[in-house]
Amino acid sequence: MSTDRSPLKVGLMVPSNNTTMEVELAAWLPAGSTVTTVKIPRGKGLLTRETLPAYRDSAIALARQHFASGGFDLITYGCTAAGFISGPAGDAELQTMLTEATGLPVVTTARAMVSALQHDKAKRIAVVTPYHDAVNVQLEAFLADGGISVARMDTFRAPDVVALGQITAEQVRDLARATMGPDCDALFIGCSQLPTRGILAGLQAEFGRPAWSSICATAWDAGRLPVAA
């Protein structure tokens, strides 16, 4: 997913439990890019509409503290579920607030998902997530707002962040194979904690159709974003 463009200095924001995105994002960005990670505090439970406002306020304060002093080209906001729960309007509002706090362009993973699938002209897709049904419904609505429907979906239904962190790339690959079908234009693997760097290219070759993940889509969107010289 890396391109021939110049290296980027990226500020990454992820939940405190995330152990995947920093390494995989760097591998997909243009060669020589650097990723500086700030982790947003959270409990062991999964994000909900009730816990999201405090989580968002914390993210904005941390962005202002760590990224407003210069030295970065852009911010990537890598909490996929938070974007879905906020909805397209709420996700765009957060994007604006992070830019106002830091003066930097911002890529959100939720919006990058839609942009990547639209780029490939995908209309009906297969989706794999670790989320419970309430978040999956919001994911589906986020995609629908971008003109993309979910033909097939399956989920690990991780009960908490501990279980989420134990899901392996092999498990993700197996669920993707079981979920993808001939009626789907593309595959999307949601959640920036799920490891996909080692399996995504193989799945795309196997299916003969685009295969995206939260992290891959974020890197792609960041790599095409205009930044200051």
Q: Is the pTM of this model over 0.85?
A: yes
Instruction: Find, among 103, 77, 105, 75, the residue nearest to 91 by Cα.
Output: 77
Question: What pLDDT, in 10s, does the model give residues 64-116?
Answer: 999 998 899 999 999 988 999 999 999 999 999 999 999 999 999 999 999 99
pLDDT band at 54 (very low <50, low <70, confident <90, very high): confident
Q: Is the dihedral of CA 127, 60, 10, 171 positive or negative?
A: negative
Instruction: Find, among 43, 2, 53, the residue nearest to 24 by Cα.
Output: 2
Neighbours of 204 (CB within 10 A): 15
In order of their start, the domains of the chain are: 9-108+217-223 (3.40.50.12500), 112-213 (3.40.50.1860)
Q: Using the structure block, give the residue that is written with the tokens 């942009």.
A: 115
pLDDT, residue 3, reads: 47
pLDDT, residue 99, reads: 97
